[in-house]
Amino acid sequence: MKVKTPIQVRYQETDQMGVVYHANYLVWFEIGRTAFIEALGFEYAAMEDQGIVSPVIDAHVYFQQPIRYGQQAYVHTSLESYDGIRTTYRYEVTDEDGNIAVSGTTKHVIVKKENFKPTSLRKKFPEWHQAYVKALGDE
């Protein structure tokens, strides 16, 4: 499963060269990840309401070509791996012609908000777990 999220490049996201500032791609990854979760029928806020959060524990970004102010960009988000506690999302940011500009991954762990102790998504949110397994094609 892959979710495509449009991003309109805003002026404040660029540097003096008119190129998207590198740190903004992590924000775009988050936009894509949220859209992916919503496409599965879930909301991250509902998880937080039950005392569970999913912080980033690792991130990689690979820059291949610039995206510039005024261009339309797309974040393509999918699951790379999931083990019930840790989830790795894969991202490709493309331009309007489908050329890959940036790719990367973020790894998240499911933890209790009160103490940051790892917990099982499988046990706490079994429907979410099943959706992730299905999205990976491991069902």
Active site residues: 15
With contact defined as beta carbons under 8 Å apart, do 26 and 69 qualify?
Answer: no
Cα-to-chain-centroid distance, residue 57: 13
| 3-state secondary structure (DSSP) of residue 55 | coil
Alpha-carbon torsion (118, 122, 126, 128), positive or negative: positive
Pairing relationship of beta strands 86-95 and 100-109 according to DSSP bridges: antiparallel
d(CA 13, CA 84): 35
